[in-house]
Amino acid sequence: MGSEKPKNSTLRLLTFSFLRKNHEFSVASLASKFSARSFGSSRTFRSTSSTSRPWSRVSRRIWKDSTLENSYQCIKTAWPVPIIEALFLPEFKIDLTKKHNFEVINVISRGAFGKVYRVMNNDSQEYFALKVLSKSKVLRDNYVSQVKDEVKIQSMCGHHPFIISSPQYWQDRRKLFIVSPYVEGGDLFDLSEKYGALPEELVKIYVAELGSALDFLHNAGVIYRDLKAENILLDSDGHVVLIDFGLSKWLKYGNRTNTLCGTLQYMAPEIFFLNGYGHAVDWWALGTLTVYLLTTKQRRLPVHDS
């Protein structure tokens, strides 16, 4: 019996050497294998060092070179970004320092989710409009998809001469930032309030330019849904610039939607009565706007007579 122990010990040593030589039995190899597979699922995942890793799993932290050269770095886990940041990706890239590139001059306007500032770029000395939105307020009103659509529509359609562009947009931990060109001529509402009814020849120009912008949006698969005097700015040459795409939506031409939104005075009946509507509601709003510019009178709603 006493001679069996050395034999067993020798056998175990030989077995261990064989496994290590032929199967690369090591802590690093085990970690590499298990890091590529979930214990609770048969679905495989790329390791944390993969350059093609999805954005939803990428950490904001950048690993140091010394970490990447470590042979055991494969057992490290890149934590996902916080949910309040992941919800706005990939449209709003995470940048904690870009806001410092702009100097705030004054507040232009205030809205339900934040403020719009007139700012100056510290490098180019150019003026821009910077919309700053509170993430908590956007989430409270379930407005995430709308704000993501807003920046995508402006960035993709902003090359039209009568549509505002959005060259930069990003997020930090608490805010969303949207940069647009600063349009200095004021809006049509202020113009009408100051001068009253506008000349018909001038209104024709405004309506033609707005019609060009709406037709462009519709052909791009966008319904605007908030055409009103307050959302139309005038540039330094007197041309219109359509702004504020917060209620806009991707909608294939000919399709219909049924969301109740917009401004009552400019709202088409099919929106108000929830009958389902398409791009034609923007043309209704343009007609209502035309009457206002020519007469300074707002459309009378049925509720005014009740």
Query: Among all residues, which ones are annotated catalytic?
Result: 226
**Structural contact between residues 144 and 88, judged by C-beta atoms closer than 8 angstroms:** yes
**Structural contact between residues 260 and 289, judged by C-beta atoms closer than 8 angstroms:** no
Burial class (CB in 10 A: 0-12, 13-18, 19+), 245: buried
What are the residues facing 180 on neighbouring strands?
Answer: 129
* Farthest-apart Cα atoms in the chain, separation: 115
**What span, in angstroms and rounded, lies between the C-alpha atoms of 208 and 211?**
5
Contacts of 301 (CB under 8 A, 6+ apart): 264, 265
**What span, in angstroms and rounded, lies between the C-alpha atoms of 245 and 111?**
13
**Structural contact between residues 227 and 207, judged by C-beta atoms closer than 8 angstroms:** no
* 24: number of Cβ within 10 Å: 12
Instruction: Report residue 139 as tokens.
Output: 């989430």
